[in-house]
Structure 1
């Protein structure tokens, strides 16, 4: 054959190899979620791609048969077509015993470079750009190619399956989506501008409901406002005026003797009807949902949904009340400042770019978001910033006690009856950063 004919055949082989490389990467990289959406929209080709992904052994066997056959044939034709011309070129400058070897090396390099560039590198990079679109476009000719190669592909697959069973290799593809997968997609969406920063924050908080326990969002025991059965009317009125809550616990003598709760609206109705409000009885006291402090916020949401309640008492393993939690508390955990009442005292106050005043009862997750800290040491041992300080110091903190961690200095500012009220958190400058406290 003439040089022109050889060149035409080589370029046909390169085109064929490029097509197989393109389809191989596109079909392997096409995401099932997008393909299912297209299939549900009525695109039959998308369903064909999904079916092929479920049973891809025949395709990959046929693809490898085609690629290797084309590569071998291209090498044979290329070496025979270009070597004489390279030999003539080399002998113009060198006529020694290595002239034949040099001409072979040049011919081999040229053909290999053409195949790498046009049959491997460029098609695969194109396939990675839009795998779903390309896989749908090529699925019909690919199925024809698989049918043609099926006898040989069946034989090769049988040998491969035998070897996999021999070495106990699991060939089933795991398509389960984990939280890390979703988190990576959310991060990519935020970087691409598809998700706004606040939206990204909301989604992260929703997934954290599975990890955060009730104490991280509840109203703690010392802050719970409750009525007793023998509460004076003036005291009830004062609490209603001072604390604008919608629900109040009703206890016998102390907070650990919970009877139920009353709705502020019911008391308001009694006031409007000129009835005494200190006569708390079965007509006004409602049964209260009681939950353990070991539940996650996600589990509490399930309890609220199943019981149709929005208010619950939290008790510990000793049957002591440790706090109360409402549906609003969980929504505040997810939405943050968007649903937090403006008049409510903020737990985290940013003084400047490098310092914050933080309430000791602030949940660790909220503090991590504010300071952009990835993780805290041994987080399973505490729920709040005060708990972190006590865990790190191994004692009851006093004013001016400090802990250094993650490039921040945590300093106790105010302590009230062993309770850490407030801390000053300062970002340490890199050129003046002391070693962290173990």
Structure 2
């Protein structure tokens, strides 16, 4: 074989090796969701790629047989074609034996470098830029190769299967999609500008519904406006005016004996029609949904769907009322900053870049979000900021008590009958202020 033929053969071997490198990396990197989308759009080759991903053993066996065979053949051809020329070149300065060794090493280095660059690195990086497109383009030739090399593929595949069984390893990749995978994709989409930061936060909040308990979104017991069954018309009217809500629990004797609830629309209708309001009227008082305080927001949402209600009373293990929750409370948790009630805004008040005033009953997830934190210590032991202070102090907090954690100081500002009303949260190492300076003459 002359020198020109050898160079052409080396070039052909590099191209062949590059093809198999693209085939290998594109199958491994192809996203199943994108392939499924391409298949649904009518690309039959995408369906073939999906089937190969389910059973990739024969595919990768062909890749390895071809790449190793091409590499060995390339070394043989390259050494035979280039070594004599480099040996003659080095004989100008070296002895025959030394020149032969130098010629062999030089040809080996050049051939190896060409294969590394053009048959491995470049095609693999090319395949990673658009793995799904590359995979559907090479699947046809690869299936032809699998058919042509079927005997060899069978032998090596059985050997590989035996090794997997010997070491008790999974032979198929796990393509299950988890919530963490989806959140990672949305975060990547936010960084790429595809999703707005608030939209990404809404998606993250949806997945939190199955981890956040209903206590984190409910209105606390001491903030519930309720009626007693025997309240007269005048008392009911005064309470509606003083505490205007859409729904009121109706109790027998005290708040821990809830018998139902009344909708403000029904009350207003009676007022407008100059009819007396009596909560002993069973037609006015509706059956109330009672849910345990250990349920997650996702479970409460499912119960709302099943009973076609949007209001529930929360009770603890001792059947005592601890709060109430509405469908709007759950949706506010999902939507976050996109929708907020005045009550939500009052719970976390940002004073400046480095300090916040936070109500003690604020859920710990909302505190983490406001402070841009990922976690707080012993999170499983409490659900509110007040609970965090109690767990950290190991007692009922008093005014001026403080907890320092990380770069934050949590200081109790107000306590009302053992209830923590306000907590001042400050950064110990403040961030530089971004507030513009006041114009001259103003302060």
Same fold (TM over 0.5): yes
Query: Following superposition of structure 1 onto structure 2, how do residues 211-250 of structure 1 map, counting pairs within 5 Å?
Result: 211-250=211-250
The change in CA–CA distance for 1:261 and 1:407 in structure 2 (over 3 A counts) is same
1:241 is displaced (CA, Å) by 1.2
1:97 is displaced (CA, Å) by 4.1
The aligned residue for residue 435 of structure 2 is: none
The aligned residue for residue 33 of structure 2 is: 33
The aligned residue for residue 316 of structure 1 is: 316
The aligned residue for residue 177 of structure 1 is: 177
The aligned residue for residue 440 of structure 2 is: none
Query: Following superposition of structure 1 onto structure 2, how do residues 185-204 of structure 1 map, counting pairs within 5 Å?
Result: 185-204=185-204
Contact 2:88 2:99 (C-alpha < 8 Å) held by counterparts: no
Q: Deviations over 1:99-128 (max 9, x none)?
A: 222211111100000000000001111111
| 2:210 partner SS | coil
The aligned residue for residue 363 of structure 1 is: 363
| 2:90 partner SS | helix
TM-score (norm 2): 0.95
The whole-number CA distance in structure 1 between the counterparts of 2:43 and 2:359 is 56
The whole-number CA distance in structure 2 between the counterparts of 1:235 and 1:338 is 37
The aligned residue for residue 98 of structure 2 is: 98
Contact 2:359 2:423 (C-alpha < 8 Å) held by counterparts: yes
1:96 is displaced (CA, Å) by 6.4
Contact 2:228 2:251 (C-alpha < 8 Å) held by counterparts: yes
1:38 is displaced (CA, Å) by 1.0
The whole-number CA distance in structure 1 between the counterparts of 2:323 and 2:116 is 67
1:421 is displaced (CA, Å) by 0.5
| 1:328 partner SS | helix
The whole-number CA distance in structure 2 between the counterparts of 1:28 and 1:400 is 59
The whole-number CA distance in structure 2 between the counterparts of 1:264 and 1:128 is 60
The whole-number CA distance in structure 2 between the counterparts of 1:264 and 1:430 is 47
Query: Following superposition of structure 1 onto structure 2, how do residues 264-303 of structure 1 map, counting pairs within 5 Å?
Result: 264-303=264-303
- Return 10-19 or 346-355, whichever deviates more: 346-355
The aligned residue for residue 385 of structure 2 is: 385
1:181 is displaced (CA, Å) by 1.3
Q: Please say if 1:255 is aligned against 2:255.
A: yes
Aligned length: 431
**Moved segments of 4+, more than 4 Å:** 342-345
The aligned residue for residue 426 of structure 1 is: 426
The whole-number CA distance in structure 2 between the counterparts of 1:251 and 1:372 is 41
The whole-number CA distance in structure 2 between the counterparts of 1:430 and 1:274 is 59
Contact 1:360 1:422 (C-alpha < 8 Å) held by counterparts: yes
The aligned residue for residue 397 of structure 2 is: 397
1:342 is displaced (CA, Å) by 4.4
Contact 2:18 2:123 (C-alpha < 8 Å) held by counterparts: yes
Contact 2:354 2:430 (C-alpha < 8 Å) held by counterparts: no
Q: Deviations over 1:274-320 (max 9, x none)?
A: 22113432111110000000100000000000110100011000011
| 2:346 partner SS | coil
The whole-number CA distance in structure 1 between the counterparts of 2:366 and 2:33 is 33
Q: Deviations over 1:122-173 (max 9, x none)?
A: 1111111110111112211111111111111011111111222222222122
Contact 1:186 1:195 (C-alpha < 8 Å) held by counterparts: yes
Contact 2:359 2:422 (C-alpha < 8 Å) held by counterparts: yes
The aligned residue for residue 435 of structure 1 is: none
| 2:149 partner SS | helix
1:343 is displaced (CA, Å) by 7.1
Contact 1:373 1:406 (C-alpha < 8 Å) held by counterparts: no
The whole-number CA distance in structure 1 between the counterparts of 2:88 and 2:406 is 69
The whole-number CA distance in structure 2 between the counterparts of 1:185 and 1:245 is 40
1:174 is displaced (CA, Å) by 0.9
| 1:98 partner SS | helix
1:44 is displaced (CA, Å) by 0.7
Q: Deviations over 1:237-261 (max 9, x none)?
A: 1211122211100001100011100
| 2:212 partner SS | coil
Q: Please say if 1:21 is aligned against 2:44.
A: no
The whole-number CA distance in structure 2 between the counterparts of 1:345 and 1:11 is 69
Supply the RMSD in Å over aligned alpha carbons: 1.4
The aligned residue for residue 349 of structure 2 is: 349
The whole-number CA distance in structure 1 between the counterparts of 2:341 and 2:418 is 29
| 1:399 partner SS | coil
The whole-number CA distance in structure 2 between the counterparts of 1:171 and 1:184 is 26
The whole-number CA distance in structure 1 between the counterparts of 2:343 and 2:217 is 18
The whole-number CA distance in structure 2 between the counterparts of 1:98 and 1:299 is 80
- Return 254-263 or 176-185, whichever deviates more: 176-185
The whole-number CA distance in structure 2 between the counterparts of 1:151 and 1:374 is 55
The whole-number CA distance in structure 1 between the counterparts of 2:64 and 2:342 is 65
The aligned residue for residue 328 of structure 2 is: 328
Contact 2:279 2:285 (C-alpha < 8 Å) held by counterparts: no
Contact 1:209 1:296 (C-alpha < 8 Å) held by counterparts: yes
| Runs of 5+ unmatched residues, structure 1 | 432-438
| 1:415 partner SS | strand
The whole-number CA distance in structure 2 between the counterparts of 1:201 and 1:121 is 38
| Runs of 5+ unmatched residues, structure 2 | 432-443
